[in-house]
Amino acid sequence: MQQQQGPRGAFILFEGVDRCGKSTQTSLLAKALQSKGVAVESWNFPDRKNTVTGHAINEYLAGKQDHNDRAIHLLFSANRWEKSDALLRALHSGTSLVVDRYAYSGVAYSAAKALPGMDAAWCKAPDAGLPAPDLVVYLELDNAAAAARAGFGGERYEKAEFQDRVRAAFQQLKEPSWLVVDASQSVEQIHEQILAEALQVVRRCKEGQPIQQLWG
Ligand code: NYM
Ligand code: MG
């Protein structure tokens, strides 16, 4: 899609390991922005419903179907590409998006498998060129705090040992621009920090800050 100038919505992304509070915080942020008159939608990846790849990804995560590790990595990436035109359309129409997971999860979960030939550089390649988020909020939960939380669900990857490796992979991906929030704080404390930053980003995007591309 052609790059457009002018006012637009903001792309605000939440990343982190399973059980770090992303779903709670994405919905709190979307509601708060809405109450301040910001047009906003909540999205999440993988999109398991409205995509060609979503069904296969869902079966894989549910443990009903196995896949070659490279193939499933590419399906997760394809799932983002499938949504990328709609994502840009929404932003250009002035709607802000609060998004639960994106390409950083894609790289962190696949790289955490530590398979030969599937290093972070290989994992990043298929997502290069996707619309980049305007703000990445990383909900950081250390190993001990994560272990103290209530149990995981039954999906693939939801095992403490694997999550520790995902956390380490996220540490490698972290960029200085990320808003890193201590996820062991109260829901309200976390939300307040994120809201303040999100409002500034929404304002900058309204002023026409251009959309960047991932890992270009
Ligand atoms: N996941 C998510 C990946 O392995 N690769 C990806 O590209 C994305 C977006 O899917 N355990 C994993 C992380 C999660 C799982 O996400 C489903 P959620 O938000 O926990 O339902
Ligand atoms: Mg999960």
Per-residue pLDDT at 1 exceeds 60: no
**What is residue 142's predicted lDDT score, i.e. its pLDDT?**
82
Query: Cα(85)–Cα(160) distance, rounded to whole angstroms?
Result: 36
Mutational test site, ligand 1, from 13, 15, 57, 105, max ligand atoms within 8 Å of CB: 105
- Cβ neighbours for 168, distance < 8 A, ≥ 6 positions apart: 112
Phi-psi region of 208 (alpha: psi -120 to 50; beta: other; left: phi over 0): left
> Are the C-beta atoms of residues 95 and 10 closer than 8 Å to each other?
no
Q: What is the pTM of this model?
A: 0.97
Tell me the percentage of the chain whose pLDDT exceeds 90.
89
Give tens-digit pLDDT for 12-62.
Answer: 999 999 999 999 999 999 999 999 999 999 999 999 999 999 999 999 999
0.95 surpassed by complex ipTM = yes
pLDDT score for 60: 98
Which ligand is the nearest neighbour of the Cα of 166? 1
For a substitution probing ligand 1, which of 27, 101, 123 has the most ligand atoms within 8 Å of its CB?
Answer: 101
**In the structure, which protein residues have their CB atom closer than 6 angstroms to any atom of ligand 1?**
18, 45-46, 61, 76, 100-101, 105-106, 109, 155, 157
Q: Which residue, 84, 201, 185, is CA-closest to 136?
A: 201
Per-residue pLDDT tens over the stretch 52-101: 999 999 999 999 999 999 999 999 999 999 999 999 999 999 999 999 99
Q: Which two tokens stand for residue 59?
A: 């079966």
CB 96 within 8 A of CB 33: yes
- Are the C-beta atoms of residues 118 and 73 closer than 8 Å to each other? yes
Kindly state the tokens that stand for 152: 């995981």
128: number of CA atoms within 13 Å, CB side? Answer: 9
Is residue 3 pLDDT above 70, yes or no?
no
Question: In the chain, what are the domains?
Answer: 11-206 (3.40.50.300)
**What ranges in 7-112 are assigned the alpha helix state H?**
22-35, 54-61, 69-92, 103-111
Q: Please compute the mean of the pLDDT values over residues 104-131 and round it to a whole number.
A: 98
Return the CA Rg of the chain: 17
